[in-house]
Amino acid sequence: MSTVFPAVEGFDAISIAYPVFSQSGEIIGGISATLDPAVMLEELVWPWIVGTDFGITITEKDGPILYAIDSSQIGKMPDNPLYQDYPELLELLKQMMEDRFGNGGYSFINPGESQTVRKVSYWTTAGLHGREWRVAITKAVL
């Protein structure tokens, strides 16, 4: 599985490839698929969170946001100017890249609003073929 790259079709993509072997074990070809992770993850995640007050963000380890409830954040890196006024969030993002799982609190704006709210986040790691994605569940707290 690749890291995220700009596909010629105009979206950020990942590619998954797998060799095809003959009955004797010789490589005779391969198959590959190019996917838009935001679209794929939307199909998987949305049914679990629709109607709840939880958010989910999926980030490539040391890479961009692959999926977020706030679609304007998809493709952004932690050094994006959007996050620079939120030092707790920056520290949490750094911790998420270093630790395979954990939790923490931070302040940030809610999607579609201008008010800053306190949030808590719990994350874990999902991986495939040596690539790691951080999967974080967030919720605004009082």
Q: What is the pLDDT of residues 62-86, one digit of tens each?
A: 889 999 988 899 999 989 999 999 9
Question: For residue 71, what are the contacts with CB-CB under 8 A and spacing of at least 6?
Answer: 38
Question: For residue 24, what are the contacts with CB-CB under 8 A and spacing of at least 6?
Answer: none
What is the spatial distance between Cα 130 and Cα 118, in angstroms, rounded to a whole number? 34
Q: What is the pLDDT of residues 35-67, one digit of tens each?
A: 999 999 999 898 988 899 899 999 999 889 999
CATH 3.40.718.10 is held by the domain 37-140: no
Please say if the pLDDT value at position 111 is more than 80.
Answer: no
| Mean per-residue pLDDT of the chain | 92
Contact call for residues 46 and 52 (beta carbons, < 8 A): no
Exposure of 10 in the CB half-sphere (CA atoms within 13 A): 0
What b-and-e string marks burial along 30-42, b requiring 16 or more CB atoms within 10 Å of the CB?
eeeeebbbbeebe
Contact call for residues 27 and 21 (beta carbons, < 8 A): yes
Going from N- to C-terminal start, the domains of the chain cover 37-140
- H helices present in the chain, as ranges: 37-49, 87-98
Please say if the pLDDT value at position 110 is more than 80.
Answer: no
Q: What kind and span of H or E run contains 67?
A: strand 65-68
What is the spatial distance between Cα 35 and Cα 12, in angstroms, rounded to a whole number? 9
